[in-house]
Amino acid sequence: MKTKSIFFIPPFLITLLLFTIQCSSSKSMERESAVSNRYDDFEGAKQSAGVTPSPKSESKPKETKSQPRMMVYTVVVNLQSKEVEPKVTEIIKLAESFGGFALQYSSQGTIQLKIPQENLKRFLLTLKKESHNYSEDVSAKDVTEDYLDTEIRLENAQKMRTRLLEILKSAKTLEETLKVEAELSKISESIERWEGKLKYLSSAVQLSTVTVHVRQKWEPVVQKDYKPGPLGYPFYYLYLGLGKVKDGIIWLFVQEIPKET
């Protein structure tokens, strides 16, 4: 009979094999952890340097609000009226009802008004409905860039004044103090100038200028037929008869002068 051979493995070999497998698995885990840590360090370095992060960590771009346009409107209106002075008074009252006011006006019919921009269109439509031979000329000027540029100049001047005030506190000699004070005086004048310009631009945008010229309306004179009263008929017919007699006398004594041949 054939007998099966059985291999016997000593216990110390099994222990050695298990220890080897455990060591190899722990080393592989350490390598993966090291790689992961290096990757995290690399990503952090990229973010600190301003490099665009990976798609997973991308954030939505911020939406920038567009600056509204700042427009200055100027309007010139021409119209006619039967009476000039009453029309001038009427137009001033109409402007006041829309929140405006008159800068100047004359009895000859010229009025300069300031109307809030949000009410300008409605004011012109109302004035057109209440006027004869109305015409208008509207012009607009965009001052957005000028306003923003003035704002930046004002902000820089204010920052410079703050720095000069700090320097003035640390000035040690009289010469340094005088120099800083001179620069402070110049920068203060610039700040006042920029602030005044901003106020002017804001006022020009908020209040539109409307100049109205009122002219006398010409109407043809209609001649009415003369109708005498009850006691006037004899004199009326006498007047007509004298006219006929005058024509007859002229016809009798005035002849055509013959032309020389």
Residue 213 has phi, psi (to 5 degrees) of -110, 115
Judge if 75 and 129 occupy the same domain.
Answer: yes
Identify the three-state secondary structure at position 227: coil
pTM: 0.56
Judge if 119 and 179 occupy the same domain.
Answer: no
d(CA 183, CA 202): 29
Q: Does residue 153 lie in a domain region?
A: yes
pLDDT of residue 3: 45
Judge if 137 and 148 occupy the same domain.
Answer: no
Q: Choose one of 205, 223, 247: the last residue of a domain.
A: 205
Q: Does residue 175 lie in a domain region?
A: yes
Say which CATH number the domain at 125 has: 3.30.70
pLDDT of residue 237: 66
Over the stretch 130-181, which tens digit does the pLDDT of each residue have?
Answer: 999 999 999 999 999 999 999 999 999 999 999 999 988 888 889 888 998 9
Residues in CB range of 207: below 8 A, 6 or more apart: 100, 114, 115, 116, 117
Judge if 100 and 118 occupy the same domain.
Answer: yes
Instruction: Tell me which residue of 185, 205, 187, 209 sits closest to 197, measured CA to CA.
Output: 205
Q: Does residue 107 lie in a domain region?
A: yes
Q: Does residue 192 lie in a domain region?
A: yes
Judge if 151 and 201 occupy the same domain.
Answer: yes
Q: Choose one of 141, 171, 194: the last residue of a domain.
A: 141
- Is the separation of the CB atoms in 191 and 151 below 8 Å? no
Judge if 90 and 148 occupy the same domain.
Answer: no
Cα angle value 115/124/75 (rounded, 5°): 65
The boundaries of the domain holding residue 96 are: 71-141
- C-alpha distances (whole Å) from 47 to each of 55, 60, 65, 145 are 13, 16, 26, 35
d(CA 95, CA 103): 11
pLDDT tens for the 261 residues of the chain, in order: 444 444 444 554 455 555 555 555 555 555 555 444 444 543 444 444 344 444 444 444 444 456 688 999 999 999 999 999 999 999 999 999 999 999 999 888 999 999 999 999 999 999 999 999 999 999 999 999 999 999 999 999 999 999 999 988 888 889 888 998 999 999 999 999 999 999 999 999 999 999 999 998 876 666 566 666 666 666 666 667 767 766 666 666 665 555 555
pLDDT of residue 182: 92
pLDDT of residue 176: 86
Q: Return the structure tokens found at 23.
A: 């060591």
DSSP secondary structure, 52-87, as one string:
PPPGGG--PPPPPPPPPP-EEEEEEEEEEESSHHHH
Judge if 134 and 152 occupy the same domain.
Answer: no
Q: Does residue 129 lie in a domain region?
A: yes
- Kindly give the pairing relationship between strand 207-216 and strand 132-142: unpaired
What is the domain count for the chain? 2
Judge if 118 and 151 occupy the same domain.
Answer: no
